[in-house]
A and B are shown apart, each in its own frame.
Chain A
Amino acid sequence: MRCKLKGRIIVITSGKGGVGKTTATASIGAALALEGKRVAVVDMDIGLRNLDVVMGLENRIVFNIVDVVNGKCKPSQAAIRDRRIENLFLIPASQSDNKDVLTPAGMERVGKLLKKEFDYVLMDSPAGIDRGFENAVVSADEAVVICTPDVAAVRDADRVIGLLYARSITPKLLVNRIVPEMVANGDMLSHEDVIDVLSVPLVGLVPMDQQVIISSNVGLPLVMQNDSTAGQAFRRIARRINGESDLSIQVPHHQKGMWGMLASKFGKKE
């Protein structure tokens, strides 16, 4: 298993915007790099780049993915090494172009180059299912679909899963931003409800965590913070992606108050 084979390209996508694709890409990328793998995260959201900000690398950008595809530089020149994690590299998006400057054919070629240099290439797909999505997906071997437990996100994820199946990629599902209290009260879809509709293999469940906003604003890797529940969940997801498929999936649970604990201790019904 340890011998270096060809790398894997994993696209992180969702259909709907704002469900946590960029955070997930940065976190899973960092966690895989901490596992000792050589990882590149590629921001495919051309024109609306923000993976660089989340990773705290925005002032070190020289080249971007559009330059790589257009042959202005080599992938290794565009890849920015992370400040803290040795094996983690970012290939940023261009902020001034739009997504139509890239073609699926160009991305496929670059994907092959990246596979030679990295163990894992994570593609942060833009929202939507148009050209940008196509560019992100075209070279991917695997896909992780991010979905939050709400009806709109589930529907969009369902559409994306259909499109990925049409490209004969079986995606894995990551349910993000679970609020266990709301699930317990029946105010939020549970992850079972989401899986029930989407019926694809689950790769992990991530709870809602305020630490996410703080760390993406200051550009610190979430997975390096031990007090972050979301960060811990992403580390487990990365281990699962990295071959530990029998690692159990932890369901974020509702921390009951003292009275709730007493009630369950004494076997109160309801």
Chain B
Amino acid sequence: MGTNDMSPVKLKGVGDGFWITVDPQAPEETIKEHLILLFQRLRHLAINARVTLDMGGAPGCDELVAHLTVFLKKTFKVGVVTLPLEKRSIPVERTRQRDLSRGWKYHRSDVLMLQGRVRSGQKIESRKHIVIMGNVNPGAELLAGGHVIVLGQLRGRVHAGGSDDETATVFALEFRPTHVQIGGVSSAGLDEKAHGNAQIAVVEKGRIVVQSCLESNLFDALPWPEVM
């Protein structure tokens, strides 16, 4: 990517060492060139220094980190090269602590929650998740930016996940829609036989799969309740 105008490497002193922010998208050679420029100015200060390499949390740059570590140690005789402390682990832990003590008391919901029957010709459009406590009749339409949950019969058209979110799901106590679309994947004419119980539709391998909610293990992988 174009990083010509901005240096892919930034250096600042922190406490007992240096904090180097690296743009992992820049080519390795460019990064090294910039490192040389910076470290030449440091001269003897670099020797035996503590260096923290911050890749900006980007995944899959272990190899680059290893290369740069070797390069820095060899060329400038720095002492220790570390990655920044696992940043994400702290907020996750903190979030769970908070959930334990206070729950989601102050969480503001991103859900449009409606009760009553949605009739033919009515169109419910929202950028949020949609929850309907009631039935959705044939000819009615639900368009959600997120998930769709119908606590009742779902017999109309439903479109979850806006135009591109294929992780969205559609759940209904009685799943009989005429048409389901999740993100860009759509499906019509669902299997008649499987109808009539609580089912959930998800996108798997580019296709919409409808499965019994109790038998599916969709949520087993999540060990902790998370805000959607």
- Chain A interface (Cβ within 8 Å of chain B)? 151, 154-156, 158-159, 161-163, 165, 197, 199
Contacts and interface: CB of A to CB of B under 8 A. Distances in A.
A154 B202 CA distance: 30
Interface string B116-151: 010111100000000000010111000000000000
A17 B137 CA distance: 20
Given A159-B120, A159-B139, 12 more contacts: A151-B138, A155-B120, A156-B120, A158-B119, A158-B137, A159-B119, A162-B121, A165-B119, A197-B135, A197-B137, A197-B138, A199-B117
Which of B117, B119, B121, B122 has its CB near the most chain A CB atoms (within 10 A)? Answer: B119
Contacts of B155: 197
Interface residues of B, number: 10
18 contacts: A151-B138, A155-B120, A155-B137, A155-B138, A156-B120, A158-B137, A159-B119, A159-B120, A159-B139, A161-B119, A162-B119, A162-B121, A163-B121, A197-B135, A197-B137, A197-B138, A197-B155, A199-B135
Contacts of A154: 138
A154 B140 CA distance: 13
A197 B119 CA distance: 9
Contacts of B139: 155, 158-159
Contacts of A199: 117, 135
B contact face: mostly helix, strand, loop, or mixed: loop
A151 B138 CA distance: 9
B140 to A, nearest CB: 8
Nearest to B117: A199
Interface in B97-126: 117, 119-122
Contacts of A163: 121
Interface of B: 117, 119-122, 135, 137-139, 155
Contacts of B120: 155-156, 158-159, 162
B138 A159 contact: no
Nearest to A199: B117
A162 B122 CA distance: 8
Contacts of A156: 120
Contacts of A151: 138
Contacts of B117: 199
A158 B135 CA distance: 12
A156 B120 CA distance: 7
A158 B138 CA distance: 9
A151 B121 CA distance: 15
Contacts of B137: 155, 158, 197
> Which 7 interchain pairs have the tightest Cβ spacing?
A162-B119, A158-B120, A159-B121, A159-B120, A155-B139, A158-B119, A155-B120
A199 B119 CA distance: 10
A153 to B, nearest CB: 11
A148 to B, nearest CB: 15
Contacts of B138: 151, 154-155, 158, 197
A86 B121 CA distance: 42
A165 B137 CA distance: 15
A243 B137 CA distance: 31
Contacts of A158: 119-121, 137-139
A4 B138 CA distance: 43
A161 B117 CA distance: 11
Contacts of B119: 158-159, 161-162, 165
B114 to A, nearest CB: 14
A14 to B, nearest CB: 13
A163 B120 CA distance: 10
A163 B122 CA distance: 10
A1 B138 CA distance: 41
Nearest to A156: B120
A199 B139 CA distance: 15
B104 to A, nearest CB: 34
A20 B12 CA distance: 83
A156 B137 CA distance: 11
Which of B137, B139, B155 has its CB near the most chain A CB atoms (within 10 A)? Answer: B137
A143 to B, nearest CB: 14
A156 B139 CA distance: 9
A165 B119 CA distance: 10
